[in-house]
């Protein structure tokens, strides 16, 4: 594409270059956004040593936590991952 007004307005090529850089940056940012967290790996089952630590649980009292989790999984039909019954290893 040719814009004959180039010669008359010397400021424009700079502006276009800036616009081009900005749109390229926006596209890369969009790319990162679109892929979201898919490039980040969740911890694998064997990598949960730190997560299984007692001080990584949400509650301080193990018995209370067990109780709360029991109610939770009875209602939600889902369990595991909170360090109850198996140290957060997903095996109950």
Partner 1 sequence: MAHFSHFSRIASRLIVSLTMAGAAAAAVALTVGQPAPALELPGVQGNISLAAAKGKVVYVDFWASWCGPCRQSFPWMNEMQAKYGSRGLQIIGVNLDAKREDADKFLAQTPAKFTLAFDAKGDTPRAFAVKGMPTSVLVGADGKVIEQHSGFHDDDRKALEDAIVAALAKAGR
Binding to partner 1, residues 13-72 (CB under 8 A): 20, 23-24, 27-28, 30-32, 34-35, 37-39, 41-42, 44-49, 52-53
Rounded CA separation 82/6 (Å) = 65
- Residue closer to partner 1 (CB basis): 9 or 17: 17
90 is a site residue for partner 1 (CB under 8 A): yes
Structure tokens at 87: 């140290």
Rounded CA separation 11/33 (Å) = 33
Terminus-to-terminus CA distance in the chain, angstroms?
65
Residues that bind partner 1 (CB under 8 A): 1, 20, 23-24, 27-28, 30-32, 34-35, 37-39, 41-42, 44-49, 52-53, 85-87, 89-92
């Amino acid at each position: 594409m040719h814009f004959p007004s180039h010669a008359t307005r010397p400021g424009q090529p700079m502006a276009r270059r800036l616009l081009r850089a900005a749109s390229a940056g926006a596209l890369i940012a969009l790319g990162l956004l679109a892929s979201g967290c898919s490039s980040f790996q969740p911890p694998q089952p064997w990598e949960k040593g730190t997560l299984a630590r007692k001080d990584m649980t949400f509650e301080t009292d193990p018995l209370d936590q067990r109780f709360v989790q029991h109610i939770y999984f009875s209602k939600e039909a889902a369990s595991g991952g909170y360090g109850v019954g198996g140290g957060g290893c997903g095996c109950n």
